[in-house]
Structure formats: structure tokens, C-alpha cells
Amino acid sequence: MLTPNLTVNEQGHLCVGGADCVQLAQQYQTPLYVMDEAVIRESCRSYHRVMEEAYHGNGMICYASKAFSCKEIYRIVREEGLGTDVVSGGELYTALQAGMPAEKIVFHGNSKTYAELEYAVREDVGRIVADHLTELAMLNEIAAVQGKTVSVMLRVKPGIDAHTHDFVQTGKIDSKFGFALETGEALEAVKACGTYSNLKLLGLHCHIGSQIFDTAPFAEAGRVMVRFMQQIRADLGIVLPELNLGGGPGIKYVQNDDPRPFGEIVNDIIWAVRETCAALDYPQPYLLFEPGRSIVGASGLTLYRVAAVKTIPNVRTYVLVDGGMCDNPRYALYQSQYEALCANHAAAPKDAVVTIGGKCCESGDLIGEHMPLQTVVAGDILAVLATGAYNYSMSSNYNRNPRPAVVMIRDGEAREIIRRESYEDIVRNDL
Ligand code: LLP
């Protein structure tokens, strides 16, 4: 099995965290997102632990909630001592509604609106990561109107190639995010902060990309950023107290994926930062990390019901399911690889190679191609694994398909944390 929390019971049914997936599909209908709370909590703890052990707790792990945002996930990560990263007014609202303390929220976004910034300042969000000069000017104006001083960080492009899919790379110079280092733009942004009386520059941020297996680019980003902090000290006499190194550690989607434990990756980054600080005689900054996928990705799976199997001789076999790109657009967007299995015959050998097709009116609506699978028939339950990150959060109502429910498993028991959308929900804003 892909992860240790997946087992097969005596009826041959797939179980997640001790809950029978076939029963879940019957009780909650399909498509259904299922998440295992123990896996989420353990991921939070492994990050938290390394921060305590390798860096004396001088930092904060902020869950990047773009990976999966709803009230319950903020409650869980908060209980585990994490803060959160939000990237829109909607995520900010959800986090605050769930009781996430504002000071533990980091607000990102390369194109935040004036209204979003006003909202964040009004709520006293702990850190706003500014992405361009216009944002700094807007923020200063908003802060002045509200009579506040706003803590900001600057998003920097450190010029690092992260060895991942181009669409999820963000640290290179040709990226819409942040201020480039090599052009001098980032240094200019630091200077600009000094001209705004209602802004307090806390530090720098970078995020080099997502689903990265290799530690080297992360550690290099840490070194580059500390060197830049030293340059700021030398040129401007400013010692910045904080450094946020973003998210990005990859997870295991298919058997061949072999990611290093997240704790080890963070440990390596912390060492790179410490060494560079020591070499430059720079005070060790308060460190922030923003993992998203690696907190929730492996905890989730999606259950579908097989609607039909269509074999085109000498071409391929389509297994058609009752969901698709509306609940998981990642194959359509990035050709992401997934593992699937028949949840009601989970121990049977995978003797077929299939394409899983969704129900949307679009040929590209696939969950995957060339996927090994048990021989299935209409009515079988299909499980697609490791769908906890960037699935629900990127889902849509394309073709007016209602979004599936999300259930959370704890101690073998399921509870609904997001209700299935109804047809009434689909028309609720139609006039
Ligand atoms: N911090 C910042 C500023 C980010 O932009 C991101 C992800 C993260 C943290 C969290 O990265 P993670 O630990 O989850 O890799 N939709 C794509 C992924 C986009 C990631 C965007 N930014 C996917 O489905 O693969």
C-alpha cells in the first residue's frame, strides 16, 4: 500500500485509518473525499518537532492552507501549534472563523486587492507578505487610515531552479511572484519600506516551488536569503529579524516516488541557515516554514463509483467514474500521477491498465492514463490515493457538478467536515 494507514480488511475492502471505504461510499455517497486525521496530525508534529529540536523553537510552522482550506483543518493545525498561510480574503475569513489567532496568520498573494488588504489590517494579521511596490504603497495608506503599524515581509525571488513542474516553480526570475534578487529590485523594495512610516519590515520570504524531492534547492535558497540579509545589513545598516522559507516538500503519489521525511528536509535547511549565519556573523533569524501539500496530501483519498467500463479494441480501456476534473483537475493541469485501486476488491491483483475518465464534457477530463488497476465493472468503488492536497481546494462546479463532501476519519470513525453541495447550492447565487 502507498501509505501505512491504508489496509485491507477481511472482506477485501480498502480501509483508511481503520474506516472501511466501501461503507463510507455507501453512507456518504460518491464522489467522496476522505481524510485521515492521524496522518495530518503526525505531519504537523514532525515539522513542529524539528523546529523545536534543531532550532530551539525559534520559529513557526504555518500550514499553507491553499492546499486544503475549511474550518476544521484550521482547528486541527491550530491544536497542533501551527500558524497558517492564507492567500486570499476567503482563506483569511475561513481561518479567522475557525479561531486561528490573527497573529499566527501570514497573508500572501501577488495580486491582493485593496479590500483584502484593508480586511487583513483591520483584523491585525501577523504578517503581510508584500509582492510589489504598489502593494507597499497601498498597505501604508491603509495602515495610516486605520492608525496602525503593519508588519510586512517581502517576497523575494532568489533565482533558484527547483527541479519540479514548470507550473509550480516560483523562485526563478521569470515568475509573477515577488521581487527579483539579481536585478536589484529586492534591495530597492527594502529601501522603499524605510520610506513608509506605517510599515514595519520584519523580514524576507521566498518560496521556490512545490512537490520538490531534492533538499539541495531548499538549502541553497536558505543560504542565498541569509546572504541577502547580510547585504542589507552592510548596505543599509538594517538587521532583519525574520526569514520565511515557504513550502514545497514533495509527497509520495505513486510507488516509485521516494520523498525524504519532511523533518529531515527542514533539518537540512536549518543547518544551511545556521552555517551561513555563523559564517557571516549574522544573528539567526526567527524562521518560518509554510508546508501545505506535505501536511494534508497523503492523508486524503477520493472515492468514486465506476459508471461504466469502455474498451476500445487496440486503443485503450476507459474506466468512467462519477467525478473527474471538477474534483481533481491535477492531471489535466500538470499530468500528475496517481495510484488507484478498486476499494471493494483491494487485495486482488492489478491485472489491467486503464485510463480513468471523468464525467465532464471534455476529452482532457482524466484522472490518469496508463494506470494499473484491478479489473473493475460498473458499480465498483474506485479509490484514488493521496488526494488530500490541491484537490478539494482546486475543485469547481464545472458542468454544474456539486462539490463532493469531505469526511475526516479519527479512530476509525468518520465525521463530515464539509457537506456535499446540493443542486440548491448550485443555483444559490443565480438571479
Ligand atoms: N508558500 C507559498 C508562498 C506558496 O505559494 C505555496 C504553494 C506554499 C507555501 C505551499 O507549498 P507546498 O508545501 O504545498 O508545496 N496547485 C499546485 C500547487 C501550487 C502550489 C502553490 N503555492 C498543485 O496542485 O500541485
pLDDT score for 14: 98
CB distance 127 to ligand 1 below 6 Å? no
pLDDT score for 160: 85
State the maximum Cα–Cα separation within the chain, in Å, rounded to a whole number. Answer: 72
pLDDT score for 168: 58
pLDDT score for 164: 62
Distance CA 242, CA 253 (A): 33
> Which of 120-129, 175-184, 316-325 has the weakest average pLDDT?
175-184
Which ranges of 110-261 would DSSP assign to H, the alpha helix?
114-122, 133-145, 185-194, 215-236
At 245, the amino acid letter reads L
Q: Whose CA is nearest to atom 8 of ligand 1?
A: 247
Q: Whose CA is nearest to atom 23 of ligand 1?
A: 390
8 Å CB contact between 171 and 209: yes
Express each pLDDT in 247-287 by its tens digit: 999 999 999 999 999 999 999 999 999 999 999 999 999 99
What average pLDDT does the segment 379-394 reach?
98
Distance CA 69, CA 72 (A): 8
8 Å CB contact between 384 and 323: no
What average pLDDT does the segment 18-24 reach?
98
What average pLDDT does the segment 408-414 reach?
98
Cα–Cα nearest to 366, from 332, 417, 327, 413: 332
Distance CA 415, CA 403 (A): 17
CB distance 84 to ligand 1 below 6 Å? no
Q: Helix and strand tally (H, E) in the chain? A: 12, 21
What average pLDDT does the segment 409-421 reach?
98
pTM (predicted TM-score): 0.97
Distance CA 10, CA 242 (A): 53
From residue 352, alpha-carbon distances to 46, 186, 313, 337 in Å are: 37, 53, 14, 17
Q: How far is the CA of 4 from the centre of ligand 1 (A)?
A: 25
Q: How far is the CA of 58 from the centre of ligand 1 (A)?
A: 23
pLDDT score for 173: 79
